[in-house]
A = this chain, B = another copy of it.
Amino acid sequence: MPLRPRDRLGVDSSSFIAYNPHMFTTVEWKDGAVRLIDQTLLPGQVAYIDCKDVAAVAEAIESLRVRGAPAIGITAAYGIALAAQQVSAEGFDDFYTALLPSCERLAATRPTAVNLFWAINRMKALALRLREQEISAIKEGLLTEAHNILREDIAMNHAIGRFGFGLIQPGSGILTHCNAGGLATGGYGTALGVIRRAWEEYKDIQVYADETRPILQGSRLTTWELMQDQIPVTLITDNMAAYFMQQKKIQCCIVGADRIAANGDAANKIGTYGVAILAKEHGIPFYVAAPSSTIDFAIASGAEIPIEERSHSEVSHMGEKEISTKGVTIANPAFDVTPAKYIAAIITEKGCFKPENLGANRPAE
């Protein structure tokens, strides 16, 4: 299917228009449903799915049709907006009581990314603030809030790119792990937002994309995204990163995050912690790029971040094909925590911070 850039998002039932720089849309509101690009089919097939109820939205998150901490948050917000449209209730209490199970269903999809809980809480807080209004106005308000979360996310990613690109020198080789791109966010990306902006400014960078076993987000998604923007990218297996650092091909590393503790410890896709150690050993700076909503000031350190253990078939099988020994014991933690001491800077929409100086990102009470 040929792709062309889209310049608007979700024009159904609202006047919301947001600039989207991609030839794809990660999450949008379309004809009363939550439309997602099905990332499990990429890059072989570019197909969209329309989630028409919360169950479909939750399934899409659980099965990684949509993934990436900011994108999960946006999708959950739209899921709540969708659920709200479908509630039949006269008074606010009945409406809110009917909405809560949908919030809980979405909150139970994945444990690690904090943006999910942040978005759900923001939607619930808005509903409570609007409690004196007509139910129809609350429903409209919730949809507008989901649009706002999406629009703000894209704007934050551009800010992250603007603040962060100066950390990259022209001519650099840049290692990234997993996909922290437009596909992991509303658009433009966090780590890939910084890379995109560096490319726009310098036209002289080389990205190394870890394939990111077991789900291959690097191989399938990051390469696909960057190739559409014609940003030079070389795909490597995860275990090649140290070799290319040794060969002096890599001058910095930049990744996204699923949750950052108050002390700067950062949870991200399994393998990120190893990349950070390799970077330290080679004297290469290691950066984390994420919106401030990824920072969980409620937890003091990364030790409190729950790590999702996913299905072992993700490791043992490739599609239908079994690629390991039948019956073997397998471990499949989906994330790891990189201690703050390995992180040169955390780039948010508010600026670049040493991990110990995240306070400026604390939301106003």
Q: A278-B274, A318-B321, A322-B44 are in contact. Are A239 and B242 (CB under 8 A)?
A: no
Minimum C-beta distance from A235 to chain B (A): 5
Task: For A280, list chain B residues within 8 Å (CB).
Answer: 281
Q: Assembly of this chain: how many copies?
A: 2
Q: Which of B273, B323, B329 contacts A233 (CB 8 A)?
A: B329
Q: Check: A158 CB closer than 8 A to any chain B CB.
A: no
Q: Check: A100 CB closer than 8 A to any chain B CB.
A: no
Interface string of A175-211 (1 = CB under 8 A from B): 0010000000000000000000000000000000011
Q: A270-B239, A274-B274, A321-B319 are in contact. Are A328 and B223 (CB under 8 A)?
A: yes
Task: For A223, list chain B residues within 8 Å (CB).
Answer: 324-325, 328
The CA of A166 and the CA of B40, in the complex, are separated in Å by 47
Q: Check: A299 CB closer than 8 A to any chain B CB.
A: no
Task: For A214, list chain B residues within 8 Å (CB).
Answer: 237
Q: Check: A130 CB closer than 8 A to any chain B CB.
A: no
The CA of A330 and the CA of B210, in the complex, are separated in Å by 11
Within 8 A of B (CB), among A303-347: 315-316, 318-319, 321-333, 336-337
Q: Check: A240 CB closer than 8 A to any chain B CB.
A: yes
Q: A328-B235, A329-B234 are in contact. Are A274 and B213 (CB under 8 A)?
A: no
Q: Which of B211, B219, B233, B242 contacts A277 (CB 8 A)?
A: B242
Q: Which of B220, B241, B242, B336 contacts A323 (CB 8 A)?
A: B220
Minimum C-beta distance from A253 to chain B (A): 13
Interface string of A62-81 (1 = CB under 8 A from B): 00000000000000000000
Minimum C-beta distance from A251 to chain B (A): 16
The CA of A212 and the CA of B316, in the complex, are separated in Å by 13
Task: For A274, list chain B residues within 8 Å (CB).
Answer: 239, 241-243, 274, 278
B213:A43 contact, CB within 8 angstroms: no
Task: For A319, list chain B residues within 8 Å (CB).
Answer: 318, 321
CB<8 Å pairs between A and B, sample of 14: A44-B322, A177-B239, A211-B324, A213-B213, A213-B237, A214-B237, A227-B327, A235-B316, A237-B271, A240-B271, A242-B277, A246-B273, A274-B274, A318-B318
Pairs of residues from A and B, 3 with the lowest C-beta to C-beta distance, nearest first: A239-B271, A242-B274, A213-B237
